[in-house]
Amino acid sequence: MSILSEAVQAELAKQAIELPSWAFGNSGTRFKVFATPGTPRDPYEKIADAAQVHRYTALAPTVALHIPWDRVDDYDALKRHAEGLGVELGTINSNTFQDDDYKFGALTHEDAAVRRKAIDHHFECIDIMHATGSRDLKIWLAEGSNYPGQADLRGRQDRLHESLQEIYARLGDDQRLVLEYKFFEPAFYHTDVPDWGTSYAQVAALGEKAMVCLDTGHHAPGTNIEFIVMQLLRLGKLGSFDFNSRFYADDDLIVGAADPFQLFRIVFEVLRGGGLNNPDVAFMLDQCHNVEDKIPGQIRSVLNVQEMTARALLVDREALAAAQRSGDVLEANRIFMDAFYTDVRPALAEWRESRGLPADPMAAFAESGYLAQIAADRVGGVQAGWGA
């Protein structure tokens, strides 16, 4: 008898994790970007690679786009291409961190002309959302300052609010603005949206269609991320996750690689707060595969999220609540840890097979020959990477 009850299996069957198009392009560190044979050369090939992840896992039905990296002439054609491969287009991510004009800010810039350019870029992103059927506009701002006295901290917050207001007003009735935060980098003295509280303050002032995006790599060491998850769910403002993993800062490694227990704790709070399989809370990846093959890296990532979700679903929540009410510290911790230590991998493999999926998606993909095929087919042209 499987350790995964029918109720647990039903929840797992509904799980969906959005993939980032940029994870399939070349990436690296500040020192080197490593090329890989078969790397996509355009958004069409990125989506084709992303569709392989969904084919072997049934976990990744949507692909997020990054503008201008994924700009095309015909978004309806791109949408049809994705649907023909069994996936759909998802979140549209804006980019205001690679133009020279944005050296000292974009939506927060002192110069109204620069702010106008950044706002208009977001208008373009919203137009693309209309064309692709995307719901969410995700904004991450690489804005701040490096030195005390360099910038008017309050003035920048005021200008950010005004810029976001204008973008928010342009959204369609069924569209959302999701504001990400990051406590440092590339700015080192202050960042304009450094934490969940600042993001929350900005989106709360906009309205119901503005939410917070939580990137698991965007926190200071020792931060209790699951507490933030709980609070944002409690406040009704957790719009999406960017799942990845970090050892030091924003490493963008495979989710769960550094601290699988943290991922388990986060997913448990998602369950506790009603966020699992909730259409208002998007599970997404935001990762770069610098030295490993990209498609297997994404397969491993979604499987890691699935595994920790299965473990979190095994927590006996009634027994846990009883132990918490009675103040039985050790019993509460035991119940929690027993679920985390449960090896669900054999049960998940059996369950996948029952659904017509490979028991081991990593092995099945490796045996497919897809990587060799694209390495042979994608010769010439410019490989996608940072900025393309």
pLDDT tens-digit readout, 158-171: 999 999 999 999 99
Examine the pLDDT at 377 and tell me if it is beyond 90. Answer: yes
Strand partners, 64: 20
Please name the residues in contact with 274: beta carbons below 8 A apart, sequence gap of 6 or more: 233
Distances (CA, A) of 229 to 45, 223, 270, 275: 34, 12, 7, 10
* Direct distance between the N- and C-terminal alpha carbons of the chain, in angstroms, rounded to an integer: 49
Given this model, what pLDDT does residue 285 score?
98
Given this model, what pLDDT does residue 387 score?
65
Given this model, what pLDDT does residue 388 score?
62
Examine the pLDDT at 148 and tell me if it is beyond 60. Answer: yes
**Helices of type H across the chain:** 6-14, 43-57, 75-84, 112-132, 153-170, 196-206, 225-235, 260-272, 294-313, 317-326, 329-341, 345-354, 361-368, 370-377
Q: Mean pLDDT throughout 86-115?
A: 98
pLDDT tens digits, residue range 261-274? 999 999 999 999 99
Distances (CA, A) of 152 to 106, 145, 249, 364: 14, 9, 26, 55
Angle in degrees, 0-180, between the axes of helices 112-132 and 153-170, rounded to the nearest 10 = 30
Residues 156 and 178: their CA atoms lie apart, in Å, by 19
Strand partners, 139: 179
* CATH architecture assigned to 14-315+358-377: Alpha-Beta Barrel (3.20)
Please name the residues in contact with 257: beta carbons below 8 A apart, sequence gap of 6 or more: 245, 304
| Dihedral sign computed on CA atoms, order 262, 264, 270, 273 | negative
One DSSP character per residue, 96-120 reads -SSSGGGTT-STT-SSHHHHHHHHH
Examine the pLDDT at 332 and tell me if it is beyond 60. Answer: yes
Given this model, what pLDDT does residue 356 score?
98
| Long-range contact pairs involving 358-364 (C-beta distance under 8 Å, separation at least 24) | 358/56, 361/56, 361/57, 361/299, 361/303, 362/296, 362/299, 362/300, 362/303, 364/56
| Residue boundaries of the structural domains of the chain | 14-315+358-377
Give the residue among 377, 372, 355 at the shortest CA–CA distance from 56.
355
Given this model, what pLDDT does residue 362 score?
98
Residues 285 and 60: their CA atoms lie apart, in Å, by 10
pLDDT tens digits, residue range 188-231? 999 999 999 999 999 999 999 999 999 999 999 999 999 999 99
Given this model, what pLDDT does residue 1 score?
55
Q: Mean pLDDT throughout 333-352?
A: 98
pLDDT tens digits, residue range 49-68? 999 999 999 999 999 999 99
Q: Mean pLDDT throughout 18-31?
A: 91
What mean pLDDT value characterizes the chain? 97
pLDDT tens digits, residue range 232-243? 999 999 999 999
Check: pTM over 0.75? Answer yes or no: yes
Angle in degrees, 0-180, between the axes of helices 317-326 and 329-341, rounded to the nearest 10 = 160
Produce one character per residue of 66-91: b if its CB has 16 or more CB atoms within 10 Å, e if not. bbebbebeebeebbebbeebebbbbb
User: Six-digit token pair at 146?
Assistant: 């490096």
Give the residue among 191, 224, 230 at the shortest CA–CA distance from 212.
230
| Dihedral sign computed on CA atoms, order 29, 33, 39, 45 | positive
